[in-house]
A and B are shown apart, each in its own frame.
Chain A
Amino acid sequence: EAGVVQSPRYKIIEKKQPVAFWCNPISGHNTLYWYLQNLGQGPELLIRYENEEAVDDSQLPKDRFSAERLKGVDSTLKIQPAELGDSAVYLCASSRSSGSGETQYFGPGTRLLVL
């Protein structure tokens, strides 16, 4: 079974430029998560999808960040415009459902560097 796939693995951009990250979850997983991980820190949830519906986006900075999961499978996370402080690893995870005991499986992440 293939794991969570993310691309690109690395991205370097200049500040004020737009950037997008893509995630393909494990087949059959209805719940998809985007996390932000700063160096030396644990992941922090940005947004959670149940199928195509964003059910928890309270931590997403909506002035510059947007996300979509149009067909309830793949998802994209966009930043426009990027700021220096956005440099971090963006992790995507998926689980079969959002039940409390469901394990979340993580992708390798996209490492973003904003110059």
Chain B
Amino acid sequence: GQNIDQPTEMTATEGAIVQINCTYQTSGFNGLFWYQQHAGEAPTFLSYNVLDGLEEKGRFSSFLSRSKGYSYLLLKELQMKDSASYLCAVNGGATNKLIFGTGTLLAVQP
């Protein structure tokens, strides 16, 4: 079957670093996406990994290990506006069909 696991909730402090983990078991793999979703808004694209390693984009970085079925999203210098749900999604087939995790709700506290 297809399974994607993320922690349900996390709390972190403004200015700190937080790592959100995602593990997946899918029948195929053609890349992993991270999306940010503020309450009541559309998911917005953060990052895409298809090869092993770290992709850095400003304050956000994403890591992938295909052999371990594991990814993480690293957020540095946390700001209050980073409070949102972070969705891990795997492209499990030849076409762009995404399978989403349930999302991790991050609360950034002062």
In this assembly, does A7 line the interface, its C-beta being within 8 Å of a C-beta of chain B? no
Chain A interface (Cβ < 8 Å from any Cβ of B): 3-4, 31, 40-45, 48, 55-56, 91, 95, 97-109, 111
What total of A-B pairs shows CB separation below 8 Å?
A: 63
In this assembly, does B30 line the interface, its C-beta being within 8 Å of a C-beta of chain A? yes
* Assembled-state Cα–Cα distance A31/B50 (Å): 21
Instruction: Return A114 CB to nearest CB of chain B, in Å.
Output: 18
Would you list the 9 A-B pairs with minimal beta carbon distance, nearest first?
Answer: A42-B100, A100-B30, A106-B42, A98-B96, A98-B95, A106-B43, A108-B42, A103-B45, A100-B91
Contact B31 A101 (CB under 8 A): yes
Instruction: Return A93 CB to nearest CB of chain B, in Å.
Output: 8
Contact A100 B42 (CB under 8 A): no
